[in-house]
Structure 1
């Protein structure tokens, strides 16, 4: 047994050994935050990831023990351990894993004391509530409510909490009644170790639509440049030749070079010019 774990109880040694075993079998090792995820949703996430990834929930200290024993660059992952971390093992690349984990998130009601992940906006419009104490409860929570047409109505769209601000108990209760669910609950990737490098979520959170659009634009611009510069490639050779023929034909017509391929066009040009001149004389 390695120096790091010789003093640990047997069950902790087994936990460390399991982490080390999975680390050898999978190409990617990641840390995910499990905080606030209901047990039922955790089980559903496990089922959704079955065959794609393995989640190992254990103490952060044991994760650190295992990473220290494995050594190498993997130890850099320990600085991302925080809160209710768990390990995720997979053979997918970090970008694909991040996308899969984003799909595990579901919207849930906010609890008092939680921080708003984004600005929480309550839209204007009618509600399903009949007149009663609910009007005062909404108003006390900072939501502009009034009675109109026998129903409770939100008079104007209002941002009730700014991103990062703490949600107070009255507002949390009001949002539940309005069925506003601002909290994203699911596995949050803290960092991923893959092929010797550590990837943070900020690097992995790419918009595929934007990236594909940029690639398509770059391709179009490269093709246009190749054709304009007469730099033939296997993809642009035909277009380069077509442009060259078109340009050569235009020069021949303009310079009145009597070649069999352009004689008709030269005569047509002369006729048009003579017609213009005739019209001017008239």
Structure 2
């Protein structure tokens, strides 16, 4: 492939060399999908990204050429080149890059034949529509509807298109009227190559709040296990000693062992028992 690319026109040769140069200068290279992004929004996204992040828009064939010349693991990136691909270079880690790109996304209405990335759910309840053909349109789109109080009402919450399915023309029309915008507009990260590893969106899309809550739960469970198993660590020694003291004191009281640290508890227990007997015999 390298022999072939030497015969590329100079401007194409320069494009490929620029990719190879950026690979050496930046810690991460990613393939992004820019499908459906208006030019003005794309320029705004570019401005909002860190100055150290570069987006390189170029032909897919040249991206392919560059990966072929780089060779090795870069060859595996070719399968993630789509119809509207571009390259992104940054020194951020892939998780930070994914999060920053997700924040650029907005919602838009669907077009007939597009694949929805999420379940499209229409909630039950009243609408602003007056009785008329809209009732039939809703029902044809799989949305149960009725007329109530002079308005059209959706009778039950309905998932009309599941994630990964195509949206047909009738569904597109009614979703537009309902103001449902299921499609994302923004840069999608197809793959990131960082420290000799490929990262895909299903790995990078971490729910930070959930991840934090799981870490907190794990720490709590580990702490409790250490205390209950009497496994001393720097973090649990104090709790283990406090638990041992409470248990020893309780044992001393129950067994009526006359020690200075438990005598008050023994007397208090005896006093309670005396009062109980007193109540029973009166």
* Aligned equivalent of 2:79: 79
Q: Distance in 1 between matches of 2:264 and 2:147?
A: 82
Alpha carbons of structure 1 residues 166 and 250: separation in structure 2 relative to 1, 3 Å:
closer
Paired residues for 1:1-282 under 5 Å: 3-128=3-128, 157-282=157-282
Structure 1-normalised TM-score?
A: 0.86
For 1:281 and 1:151, locate their aligned partners in 2 and report how far apart those are by CA, in whole Å: 74
How far has the Cα of 1:119 moved from its partner? 3.3
How many angstroms apart in 1 are the aligned matches of 2:199 and 2:216?
26
RMSD, aligned α-carbons: 2.7
Tell me if structure 2 keeps the 8 A contact 1:74–1:196. no
CA 1:267–1:83 in 2, change beyond 3 Å: closer, same or farther? Answer: same
Which of 207-216 and 134-143 deviates more? Answer: 134-143
Question: How far does the alpha carbon of each residue in 1:168-214 deviate from its partner, in whole angstroms, 9 at most, with x for none?
Answer: 34443443343321211211111111101111111112222222111
TM-score (norm 2): 0.86
The offset of 1:32, in angstroms, is 0.9
* CA gap 1:170/1:250 in 2 versus in 1, 3 angstroms: closer
Structure 2 CA distance for partners of 1:166 and 1:18, relative to 1, 3 Å: same
Q: Please identify, of 238-247 and 158-167, the stretch whose mean Cα deviation from structure 2 is larger.
A: 158-167
Offset at residue 120 of structure 1 (A): 2.7
Following TM superposition, by how much is the alpha carbon of 1:68 offset from its aligned partner in structure 2, in angstroms? 2.1
How far apart, in 2, do the equivalents of 1:277 and 1:149 lie?
70
Distance 1:107 1:120 in 2: 13
Aligned in 2, Cα 1:4/1:273: closer, same or farther, shift over 3 Å? farther
Q: Report which stretch shifted further, 138-147 or 94-103.
A: 138-147
The 3-state SS of whatever aligns with 2:260 is coil
**Unpaired runs of at least 5, structure 2:** none
Q: Tell me the distance in 1 between the aligned counterparts of 2:215 and 2:119.
A: 32
Structure 1 residues 264 and 114 mapped into 2: Cα distance closer, same or farther (>3 Å)? closer
Change (3 A) 1:281 1:166: closer
Q: For this pair of structures, how many residues does the alignment match?
A: 281
